[in-house]
Amino acid sequence: MPAARRVAVTVATTAAVVAVVIGGWELYRWIWISAGWTWPFVVDDTSMPHVRTIVQALFQHPTSGFGDILIVQLLHAALFTAKEAAVGFALGASIGFALGVFMSQWKILQRGLLPYVVASQTVPILAVAPIVVVYLGSLHVAAWFSVSVIAAYLTFFPVAINTLRGLLSTDRRAVELMRAIAASRWKILWKLRVPAALPYIFSALKVSATACVVGAIIGEAPSSIQEGLGGYIVNFNQYYTLSPQNLWATNVIADALGIAFFLVIVIAEKLVVTRAPEHVA
Amino acid sequence: MSVVEIEKLTKRFERGDVVALQDIDLAIEPGEFVSLIGPSGCGKSTLLRVIGDLIPPTSGTVTVNGKPAPRARADHDYGIVFQDAVLFDWRTVAKNVALPLEMLGWDRGRRKRRVDEMLALVELDGFGDHHPWQLSGGMQMRVAIARALAFSPSLLLMDEPFGALDEMTRERLNMELLRIWEASLSTVVFVTHSIAEAVFLSTRVVVMSPRPGRVANIVDIDLPYPRAAQAREDPRYFELVTRVREALHLGSDLDAVAR
């Protein structure tokens, strides 16, 4: 398929999906309100505001009179959160990759570290976040960096696990081939195992790309950071019954940020990974 | 000096307590084309891997070019080709062929010259920039052969390289392999389960029998080189095919008696 046509199809598909989501939201609202159904929850203007109301909220001043319109404020906040998330992603992905490599090369490390790597993810992030903030704060590290560390905490796990799995699932004969031509263990790692593991690593990076945005947003609350999307969410949460559309509008922007991170990884994968066509999708 | 000298070689796999090879003695001279043939489970692929130092023997010695096998491997004395081409999808054809040269630390210009020579040798000039998945199975196998021969190893190990190909492609690649072997002056150890292929290609056919894997017989193939496709119609060719076949059946009978 020619490139222009492919782009057109993608745009059309995306538009159709957005239309279906909006239509579905409004249809659900209409059916539940007119039938008076209360299961699983009561549908009214507070629980499910009109899509129109949410979009309008984006172009109004959230508090009467002062500051920019909401979308400008949210975009600034998104930029701030994006910085935290991007630094956290880079940090977490590097640590995750390094852990995966170490664990693949030394069985003893795999046996020793893997349980703790898994256990680290069973600790609620809300419990860890204040500790990170207080600890790093005492070292006079900028508050936003504490948030990055929290984002990294959610990022490294999928990368570590998938890197390990990818590095251990190298074609056995390809390894034999490398050994037959006297490739050292490190040559085998860099010239064979890592390139062969790239599809695994990239699927982890895609999971992490969205997780690090969530991590940054969650991390902002205990760090008392007001400039990011997390700050806005905490704030609008408190006034939810008065103006639910503001929280929904913030959600839309947060989603967009997560999708943007995801798309960056998809594009990077297209540029980096060369595979037979049937493997590309 | 023999290229390969195997003495009293035994390979026992701990798992399942299987004796894969027992008391193998075999010497392969420079420039020979030796086929290992036998029913599945006779240890022919295991023998190839022990020669290539990809798995260690349980007892006995393997000497390659006068050196222990691990030393020969470190010295890049081996080229190897498997049943599947095992090309790296993320590398172009040229870069796949260049892989062993990168291990040797050759610079870019020298690598490129050698890759061009090798691609010409296997008649794939102009395919250097393709990716492996863009080639047919037979072409992929030719790339694998070019890669194995890239640093002119003295010993080429081939593990059923044409087993996955159709008969037509297989016969054509047999011809090409003979031409490449004659041009490259290397010694070949070739694992196959095709009697016709073994007789057509080899200077000697080593017939193996299973449980435990051992050498049942060695048949000298005295068909003259260069061998053309007509060699397959030579009466002597049919006699030799029959001899190998009988040796194979005798090996299986021994097996039956042993049980």
Written as one letter, the residue type at B32 is E
Mean pLDDT across A130-142: 87
Per-residue pLDDT tens digits for A227-237:
899 999 998 98
Chain B residues bordering chain A (beta-carbon distance below 8 Å): 49, 52, 54, 73-76, 78-80, 82, 84, 86, 88-90, 99-100, 102-103, 131-133, 151, 157
Architecture of domain A50-280: Orthogonal Bundle (1.10)
Q: What is the helix, strand, coil percentage profile of chain A, to 5? A: 80, 0, 20
Confidence bin at A66 (pLDDT 50/70/90)? low
- Judged against a pLDDT cut of 70, whether residue B62 lies above it is answered with yes
Mean pLDDT across B91-115: 91
Question: For chain A, what is the mean pLDDT?
Answer: 90
Per-residue pLDDT tens digits for B224-256:
888 888 888 888 989 999 999 988 888 766 555
Cβ-Cβ contacts under 8 Å, B99 against chain A: 181, 191
Best probe of the A interface among B103, B135, B152, B191, by most A CBs < 10 A, is B103
Strand order in the sheet with B59-64: B18-28, B4-13, B59-64, B67-68
What are the domain boundaries of chain A?
1-48, 50-280
Q: Is the complex ipTM more than 0.95? A: no
Q: State the DSSP code for A38.
A: -
Delineate the domains of chain B, giving CATH numbers in brackets: 30-77+153-259 (3.40.50.300), 87-152 (no CATH)
Return the percentage of chain A with pLDDT > 90, whole number.
Answer: 60
Confidence bin at A206 (pLDDT 50/70/90)? very high
Do residues B209 and B233 make contact, with C-beta atoms less than 8 angstroms apart? Answer: no
Do residues A89 and A152 make contact, with C-beta atoms less than 8 angstroms apart? Answer: yes
- Judged against a pLDDT cut of 60, whether residue B156 lies above it is answered with yes
Q: Where are the alpha helices (DSSP H) in A185-243?
A: 185-188, 194-220, 229-238
Phi, psi of B236 (to 5 degrees): -60, -35
Cβ-Cβ contacts under 8 Å, A269 against chain B: none
- Judged against a pLDDT cut of 50, whether residue B259 lies above it is answered with no
State the DSSP string of chain B.
Answer: --SEEEEEEEEEETGGGEEEEEEEEEEE-TT-EEEEE-STTSSHHHHHHHHTTSS--SEEEEEETTEEHHHHHHTT-EEEE-SS----TTS-HHHHHHHHHHHTT--HHHHHHHHHHHHHHTT-TT-TTS-GGGS-HHHHHHHHHHHHHTT--SEEEEESTTTTS-HHHHHHHHHHHHHHHHHHT-EEEEEES-HHHHHHH-SEEEEEETTTTEEEEEEE--PPSSP-GGGGG-HHHHHHHHHHHHHHHHHHHHHHHH-
Chain A residues bordering chain B (beta-carbon distance below 8 Å): 171, 173-174, 176-177, 179-183, 187, 191-192, 195-196, 198, 273-277, 279
- Judged against a pLDDT cut of 90, whether residue A222 lies above it is answered with no
- Judged against a pLDDT cut of 80, whether residue A278 lies above it is answered with no
- Judged against a pLDDT cut of 70, whether residue A65 lies above it is answered with no
Best probe of the B interface among A171, A175, A179, A181, by most B CBs < 10 A, is A181
Please report where in the chains the tokens 């005492």 appear, as a residue: A138
State the pTM of this model.
Answer: 0.83
Please report where in the chains the tokens 């490390």 appear, as a residue: A109
Question: What burial class does residue A121 get, using C-beta atoms within 10 Å of its C-beta: 0-12 exposed, 13-18 middle, 19+ buried?
Answer: middle
Instruction: State the count of interchain CB pairs (< 8 A) between A and B.
Output: 57
Phi, psi of B216 (to 5 degrees): -85, -35
B177: nearest Cα among B37, B33, B2, B30: B33
Best probe of the A interface among B91, B133, B141, B160, by most A CBs < 10 A, is B133
Angle (CA) B187 B188 B194, round 5°: 155
Confidence bin at A260 (pLDDT 50/70/90)? very high
User: To the nearest whole angstrom, how far is the Cα of B136 from the nearest Cα of chain A?
Assistant: 13
- Judged against a pLDDT cut of 50, whether residue B124 lies above it is answered with yes
